[in-house]
Amino acid sequence: MKEARGTVFKFGDNVDTDVIIPARYLNTTDHAELAAHCMEDIDKSFIKNVKKGDIIVANKNFGCGSSREHAPIAIKAAGVSCVIAETFARIFYRNSINIGLPIVECEEAAKEINAGDIVKIDFDTGVIVDETTGKYYQGQAFPPFMQKIIDCEGLVNYINAK
């Protein structure tokens, strides 16, 4: 995937993996079932309203807490095409790259983009465009090593290709 475009769902600081996918649903590994409860404990209407290609924008330390890969899996399976945040918690960051969920760190974009805006991200250049406000932002590019994992759509394919 070279770019993403969708409607923004906005969240604040320290969105933890317990609200992204509560532990009461961790008795399954089924992606669709996990997606059905994505963000349930922070925004019950999220899963009803999110459409394929939509984008999550959040402030700092997104994905803090547990190492559950079920969290980025739930977000990806819910149809979200990219998460933009000021910063990500480190295990969530690794997990997202490893499963092929595009994530971008950009403080300015995370602060300024509003819920409901239409946003486009070019993954090659890291450029984020808020089509609603007309503003451009430069997201942080991945180091080449991580870009290779992303290009392979995850760690397993990357290792198999080596």
Binding site for other proteins (CB under 8 A): 14, 16, 18-19, 22-24, 26-29, 41-42, 60-61, 64-70, 72-73, 87, 89-91, 94-95, 98-99, 143, 145-146, 154-157, 159-160
Question: Nearer Cβ to other proteins, position 31 or 120?
Answer: 31
> Cβ 134 to other proteins, closest distance in Å?
31
Q: If you search the block for the tokens 């999110």, which residue do you land on?
A: 50
Instruction: Select from 36, 6, 4, 27 the least CA-distant residue to 126.
Output: 4
> Cβ 158 to other proteins, closest distance in Å?
9
Query: For residues 81 and 6, is the Cβ–Cβ distance under 8 A?
Result: yes
Question: Nearer Cβ to other proteins, position 133 or 157?
Answer: 157
> Cβ 64 to other proteins, closest distance in Å?
6
> Cβ 75 to other proteins, closest distance in Å?
13
Residue ranges of alpha helices (H) inside 3-136 are 17-20, 31-35, 46-49, 70-77, 90-99, 107-112
Host H or E run for residue 4: strand 3-10
